[in-house]
Amino acid sequence: MSGTDRKESEVRRMMQVPAPVVPADLGARAAARGGRLLRRHRALRRACWGLLLAVLLALAVWALLTEPWPAPPAPTSPPVVGF
């Protein structure tokens, strides 16, 4: 028996078995779970956006207070002694 024949006979055997019993409230439970997952993902997304905005605000406040953009003072040469 080849691999294809074996798979075909296994599928035929599975098709002859009656389908398992599905709970009557399965659709309602699945919809409720999906709603919970959507609310959780939405809350997580909002929290991440809020955190990003807070970090950007903190960075802007820090940059305004410390002014990190001016160039550092140029180094000077040592004084000439005994010339």
Question: In the structure, what pLDDT confidence band is assigned to residue 1 with cuts at 50, 70 and 90?
Answer: low
Residue 50 DSSP code: H
- Mean pLDDT across the stretch 68-76? 78
Phi-psi region of 62 (alpha: psi -120 to 50; beta: other; left: phi over 0): alpha
Task: Using the predicted structure, report yes or no on whether residue 50 has a pLDDT greater than 80.
Answer: yes
Weakest-pLDDT range from 2-16, 19-33, 35-49, 54-68: 2-16
